Structure 1
Amino acid sequence: MAKYIYIICPPKIATGGPEALHQLGFILNQLGFNAHMLYSKWKVNPVHPFYKRYKVPFVTKIIDNHETILIIPESMTNLIAKYPLSEKKIWWLSLDFYEVLMNYRGRKKNIINVIFSSKKHKEYNFESNPTVTHWYQSHRTKLFLETKKIDNPIAYLCDYVTELFLEDLPDLKDIKKENIITYNPKKGLKVIESFKNELPQYTWIPLKGMTREEMRDLLRKAKLHVDFGYFPGRDKIPREALVSGCCLLTGRGGTAEFAEDLGIPNKYKLHPNEQKQEIIIPLIVQIMTDFEEVRDEFMPFREFVMTEKNRMIDDVKKLFS
């Protein structure tokens, strides 16, 4: 058993990636390991309120040695060189943020930084390094990693929909649905705005400015969740909507293209050239009118999502055995 396990995470940020990292810490400690969060920047009270429920202790510094395991999200691979002795696990929760943030850090450096910066802060470009192992959260990322020369075998590890969305969840037949359509205003808003005014018979509610409990309660009332944005990883909100008994209508950007990552029927995943009123409006009307019949089409993937936590526990046991 590893003596020390540290999970590197940005502080005070509530998105799918940090939640996955806290879920991993929670599971490791439930299994008897000694896992702590190591936040990437110093903050007073760095734990976001959403993640206090996981009760993962945190530290502000670590000792780099052969008894230490570091779990590093793909967005922070520049930290690999900082800890040469530790065993490092890169958890690819998104494929796109690796390159985006690496380029961002590069733009921030001026010539003085480049000359005097320590080798401990250099970017990771898949150099040979036997202390590095890769975990993928999505099938899309697996395909990407298989194109690289990697020293250690890659492995699958996916997060899960938090218990908040499963607590006191009624049977689907007992959930009282209304003519509500939810959407994430941070993703694909331009496409959504182009047709939602054509469907005033439905109540359109953006998922913003609410607590997690309020969001859960709203999704349990809604019939449909729409997301035409880009999916950098296996996004949380669509899975939370499925658990809550919603149907989904999405684009195909990123992981949404792959059935292994978003296993809903293809007719509810629209290519950009299909995202037009003459296709979307009749499809939404059909979903809302024949809701219970359409919802049955989503049941296989919903059942898969409902068992994600048990699979994550089993996978963590294998990875740390």
Structure 2
Amino acid sequence: MPAPSYRTIYILCHARSRTGGPEALHQLGRALRDLGHDARMVYAESDAVPTCLKGVVRFPEIADPMPAAYEHYDVPRTFEVLDEPGNAMVIGELHLDILQYLSEISPYIWWLSIDNGLRAVRAFGGFGAVRLARVKHLCQSYYAMSYLLEKNILGFPVFDYTTPQHVTAAAGWDGSRVDRILYPARGKWFTEWLQWWAPDLAWQEIVGFSPSEVRNLFLTSKLYVDFGSHPGKDRMPREAAILGCCIVTGQRGSAGNSFDIPILAGYKFRDSRLQIPRIVRAIRQIMSDYQNRIGDFEIYRAIIAGERLEFNAQVERVFGRNGG
């Protein structure tokens, strides 16, 4: 089935936000423009209420809405959306309410973190209403695809990629690593139980660091542990892996399948207190035998290194190449 042809593709993005979702939306904008499309970012606050007049959906203007870190994607912005049949608009699952303002344009929902969007789904009327809506669905993870499929909703894969800076940094690093275990704020309730069982190990929560400092932590540490909810194909495990950390995760969300985090099952555990002795034993084995254990993540790192090419191919399959 040929991809549709659009005059303009608008991408709605939360203003001034520097997280995985907004970066993925900017990556989409860059990929679309590289395919010859007129793609434009539309920045809005989370509670934005646009005005609609004569086929124009206008969002309130915001000063400096784009973080400087996204300037290199070089995607133009606008606050006006022409609600016309020849145009398209991509929104994240948190902005389902915007669909009520669109009548002619072709809307796409990109499910970036499906668990975080459940409240918006309920406010929209549930998945039954989502299924009946005049919209196409894109998925950032296999987890989202399978979740939607259970609701009889077909989603097309558009998986974002780990920023090239991390891949480049990994290729150029040959330094030593310290016996340090990194973990995010999410899932902290369980990670603190692990620390209580292994107080002799060096644990470092990733909080309050700049992006470059986080990169250096990954480059100089041996292990990244993540028992968060994994509502999408999270960036941090991928960044840790490509920068040379071994990975241990829970089994919630996207960590529960072998596609979004394709690591050996022996490195994934239920976040149950009964599992703590097994988890701590696995962690100690990794820390004492890092040079051998890091080889278990070679396939994962290779997949991460090829994410951008796959992402571009997926975007082209959905939207086509403008003029060719």
Structure-1-length-normalised TM-score: 0.87
Q: 2:184 matched to which residue of 1?
A: 184
Contact 1:78/1:122 (<8 A) preserved: no
Aligned residues: 300
Q: 1:262 matched to which residue of 2?
A: 261
Paired AA for residue 26 in structure 2 = H
1:57 counterpart (63, 73, 76): 76
Within a 5 Å distance, the mapping from 1:151-300 to structure 2 comes to 154-170=155-171, 174-185=174-185, 187-273=186-272, 276-300=275-299
Q: 1:113 matched to which residue of 2?
A: none
Paired AA for residue 231 in structure 2 = P
Contact 1:225/1:247 (<8 A) preserved: yes
How far apart, CA to CA, are the structure 1 residues paired with 2:79 and 2:274?
A: 47
How far apart, CA to CA, are the structure 1 residues paired with 2:126 and 2:43?
A: 19
**RMSD, aligned α-carbons:** 2.1
Secondary structure, counterpart of 2:258 in structure 1: coil
How far apart, CA to CA, are the structure 1 residues paired with 2:131 and 2:146?
A: 18
Stretch moving more, 50-59 or 229-238? 50-59
Q: 1:141 matched to which residue of 2?
A: 144
Contact 2:219/2:245 (<8 A) preserved: yes
Q: 1:112 matched to which residue of 2?
A: none
What is the Cα deviation at residue 126 of structure 1?
2.1
How far apart, CA to CA, are the structure 2 residues paired with 1:207 and 1:84?
A: 44
How far apart, CA to CA, are the structure 2 residues paired with 1:101 and 1:154?
A: 18
Q: 1:40 matched to which residue of 2?
A: 44
Paired AA for residue 206 in structure 1 = E
Paired AA for residue 288 in structure 2 = T
What is the Cα deviation at residue 159 of structure 1?
0.1
Show CA shifts across 1:105-157 (max 9, x none). x4xxxxxxxxxxxxxx988722534x41111122222122223455xx63111
How far apart, CA to CA, are the structure 1 residues paired with 2:265 and 2:41?
A: 39
Greater relative CO, 1 or 2 (CA 8 Å, sep 6+): 2
How far apart, CA to CA, are the structure 2 residues paired with 1:160 and 1:175?
A: 25
Q: 1:7 matched to which residue of 2?
A: 11
Secondary structure, counterpart of 2:85 in structure 1: coil
Secondary structure, counterpart of 2:80 in structure 1: coil
Contact 1:126/1:148 (<8 A) preserved: no
Contact 2:96/2:120 (<8 A) preserved: no
Secondary structure, counterpart of 2:130 in structure 1: coil
Distance 1:145 1:190, change over 3 A: closer
Within a 5 Å distance, the mapping from 1:304-319 to structure 2 comes to 304-319=303-318
Paired AA for residue 232 in structure 1 = P
Distance 1:102 1:127, change over 3 A: closer
How far apart, CA to CA, are the structure 2 residues paired with 1:127 and 1:200?
A: 49
**Runs of 4+ off more than 4 Å:** 121-124
What is the Cα deviation at residue 176 of structure 1?
2.0
Paired AA for residue 90 in structure 2 = I
How far apart, CA to CA, are the structure 2 residues paired with 1:27 and 1:284?
A: 39
What is the Cα deviation at residue 276 of structure 1?
4.4
Stretch moving more, 90-99 or 301-310? 90-99
5+ unaligned residues in a row in structure 1: which ranges?
Answer: 107-120
How far apart, CA to CA, are the structure 2 residues paired with 1:123 and 1:68?
A: 27
Q: 1:29 matched to which residue of 2?
A: 33
Q: 2:22 matched to which residue of 1?
A: 18
How far apart, CA to CA, are the structure 2 residues paired with 1:297 and 1:270?
A: 16
2:102 counterpart (57, 75, 83): 83
Paired AA for residue 183 in structure 2 = Y
What is the Cα deviation at residue 167 of structure 1?
2.5
What is the Cα deviation at residue 160 of structure 1?
0.4
Contact 2:179/2:222 (<8 A) preserved: yes
Show CA shifts across 1:28-64 (max 9, x none). 1222211111112243211123322322221112110
5+ unaligned residues in a row in structure 2: which ranges?
Answer: 46-59
What is the Cα deviation at residue 299 of structure 1?
1.1
Contact 1:183/1:206 (<8 A) preserved: yes
Contact 1:23/1:159 (<8 A) preserved: yes
How far apart, CA to CA, are the structure 2 residues paired with 1:155 and 1:207?
A: 33
